[in-house]
Structure 1
């Protein structure tokens, strides 16, 4: 699978969810995703806003945190399952919520507003992640419980005027998604087939020649959240293996960030404002990790 073994990078602990804010209890989310075991947290969606503030989500307990050092402030706590986040401007976050669709969040007041709750009155399967395109549209994955047994997960594009394009309808569990640096191609993690798909974005919503760009090793889980750096390298969080794979623009793995000393569930990643430090949500330990990524 590898031309040469990916070089190992070792992350450090950036911050840990304080014990006082952990809630080890059974929930509907845990019943569906953790065989009913009590879950004290499940961190996802690392995101930096324009002022450099770091946010992340806690899915089963419906929380969005702002993290500064060891201080974790819940800027929102509600009856939802927030997953992916994206900053829109300096004072608004977009939230991908499995229960409620796409929401906005004002982190100053905690106010939340629905952006897209359904498509033509039909509910989403379960929104997982979202990103902003430079043209103002929102790209989002509609994962639900799809997988190899039901490869019908969807990828949508929501235009600023409210139009919705269905770009993909046969995804085996579409999860994280990112744009290349030019904004011309979309990469989507297909968790249950252990693949990352890549395809060109067209203004007419026609998708042609979608390509398998990268495949993670098979295991108990496939690729989850992703990020792209200034050199167009792709960073793929891979729960189960406890790794974040670093992939060059040609689809070759050059490095791996080994998170297994903390846990085997790195769910997502994002670059800090310096463009070099990758921040990772490690959900087994309820921690945020950081690693400096070497230049190509």
Structure 2
């Protein structure tokens, strides 16, 4: 008999404990995997043999799919289009986060390049529906949906996290009114309204939860949400309903499998099926196909679109209503063409042209003419040859503006250009290649934006001053000009008097006074003026009564007077005035 001493008989040896711990870990992993595969109902059985295919690649992480007339549109640095032959094409040069199709064929898009909710017509003309809330530019736009009354909702997660739940939900009504209807969210992401039109479901990605709100009345905000489902794992991203009212969630990434999956949840929050997706992450989902019984999922690693025939009818979505259009967007839908590469060469030559007096150099003109003669599409060749004189003038202007752009860069400023080429040319080549047709529409030269901080001393040669503004006198396409904290005074504003298209002007922390406002009288398209911490009393607005579109004036920390406020009060379109 072996006698054991100094041994705790209730505690197994270390190696055995280690083996048992490893076995338990393996068992828990297997149980988690088993739990993930547990649904055994009718839907789970129908989906058991579903196979995904990599339908289309993408240049990067992909989001926001929509199926329209045999083609798939999705977001990946631009709005991309997958044609019926599965060719992938850049479609719109925007930065979209999500898309949704209305019954009338219009597609709604949340776009972070223009910070706007866009409407894309059936003939592919984009327009702006919403670009402000309470006169402020929209923030991060993530995803969107429509309810049964035609209201459009979108999520804004910008700056939010579990520690800082500042995400919001917005709504635009069919009459164009915009409301912030919910907040305090930790990264609100995908959202959708159920087929019955009763509930708004919101994926709160940072908490890994799906929240459910009652759809509010038109004049009400969202109430308190209920926790509909806790996804766990890495949380969710997007969602879509099938025709039966089940929610198909993109379960972003499952740690136990290293892949994403679709989790199908009943209205009673019961998991009906799991559908593994052969990608590391799955971001969003849309139903489509001729019978609307196929799914298209956007992914990352590999990025693009995955497709599966599931044999389950998707909910076609609430039909929506027409929305008021604020303005058309200067973006043109792209189309494939055999001469795209040749046209791009002409554009490249034009963009590098040098000035000879008021014209571009003779060598560039000859190169452009020779390249145009080599186009294979005869009607297109004729159009390009007719356009060449205009293109040469645009290239000369581009070369001229190059000196201004270099100066703006030297002063650590920023400029935004907008292409003015004919739409037929833009649709083939794309705006990125057509810089020779670019006109400057925004300039930001702010030197100081905080009145509480002392400015860093700079020599006048490194600052924007009155004489420097002469460079802007012929920039008649300019819509936004930021000059906060510069050395500009009232006298310098005379150089801006012909800039009739200015919509936003910032003269904060400058020595500009009311007397200089007479030079701004021609800016009748002005919508927002920021003149805080300046010498402005407001009396200068007597010169600006022709501003029939102005919505916002910021006179914060400026010496506003009674006479000045009286002049401002006559601006009948004003919605926001800051005078603290």
TM-score under structure 2 normalisation?
0.43
Q: Distance in 1 between matches of 2:55 and 2:36?
A: 35
**Aligned counterpart for 1:254 among listed residues 272, 297, 320:** 272
Superposed counterparts of 1:141-160, under 5 Å: 141-160=155-174
Shift of 1:89: 4.2
Pick one of 38, 43, 62 that aligns with 1:5. Answer: 38
Q: Write the distance in 2 (CA, Å) between the matches of 1:65 and 1:104.
A: 16
SS in 1 for 2:143: strand
Matched, 1:282 2:315: no
Deviations 1:245-265 (A, max 9, x none): 111111121211111x3x211
State the superposition RMSD in angstroms.
Answer: 2.4
Matches within 5 A, 1:98-247: 98-99=112-113, 100-106=115-121, 108-109=123-124, 111-203=125-217, 204-219=219-234, 222-241=235-254, 242-247=260-265
What do residues 161-209 of structure 1 show as CA deviations (whole Å, max 9, x unaligned)? 1212222111111111111111111001001000111011121323334
Q: CA deviation at 1:131?
A: 1.2
Q: CA deviation at 1:91?
A: 4.1
Cα distance in 2 between the residues matched to 1:139 and 1:116? 12
Instruction: Tell me, yes or no, if the aligned pair for 2:56 and 2:82 is still in contact at 8 Å.
Output: no
Is there any run of 5+ residues in structure 1 with no aligned partner, and where? Answer: 23-39
Distance 1:5 1:125 in 2: 41
SS in 1 for 2:237: coil
Measure how far apart 1:236 and its partner are. 0.7
Give the total of aligned pairs.
Answer: 265
After superposition, the Cα gap between the structure-2 partners of 1:280 and 1:4, relative to the gap in structure 1 and judged at 3 Å, is closer
State the SS of the aligned residue for 1:183.
coil
- Give me the whole-angstrom Cα distance separating, in 2, the residues matched to 1:234 and 1:63: 25
Which range moves more in the overlay, 232-241 or 63-72? 63-72
Structure-2 change in CA distance of 1:193 and 1:67 (3 Å): farther
Q: C-alpha separation between the residues in 2 aligned to 1:41 and 1:295? A: 29
Q: Which has the higher strand share?
A: 1
- If asked which structure has higher relative contact order (CA below 8 Å, sep 6+), I would say 1
Larger radius of gyration: 2
Matched, 1:45 2:64: yes
**Does the CA contact (< 8 Å) of 2:118 and 2:126 recur in 1?**
yes
**Conservation of the 8 A alpha-carbon contact between 2:79 and 2:96:** yes
Task: Answer with 165-174 or 191-200: which moved more.
Answer: 165-174
Structure 2 gap ranges (5+) = 1-31, 255-259, 314-580
Aligned to 1:25: none
Find the aligned partners of 2:126 and 2:312 in 1 and give their Cα distance.
39
For the residue of structure 2 that corresponds to 1:282, the secondary structure is strand
* Residues 1:75 and 1:92: Cα distance change in structure 2 (over 3 Å): farther
Q: Is the 8 A contact 1:225 1:236 kept in 2?
A: yes
Matches within 5 A, 1:45-64: 45-49=64-68, 51-58=69-76, 61-64=77-80
Matches within 5 A, 1:268-279: 268-273=284-289, 274-279=291-296
Residues in 2 aligned to 1:101 and 1:288: alpha-carbon distance in whole angstroms = 25
Tell me the CA shift for residue 215 of structure 1: 1.1
Q: Which moved more, 1:112-121 or 1:202-211?
A: 202-211
Following TM superposition, the consecutive aligned residue runs of length 4 or more in structure 1 with deviations greater than 6 angstroms are 1-4
| TM score, norm. by length of structure 1 | 0.81
Q: Distance in 1 between matches of 2:86 and 2:292?
A: 22
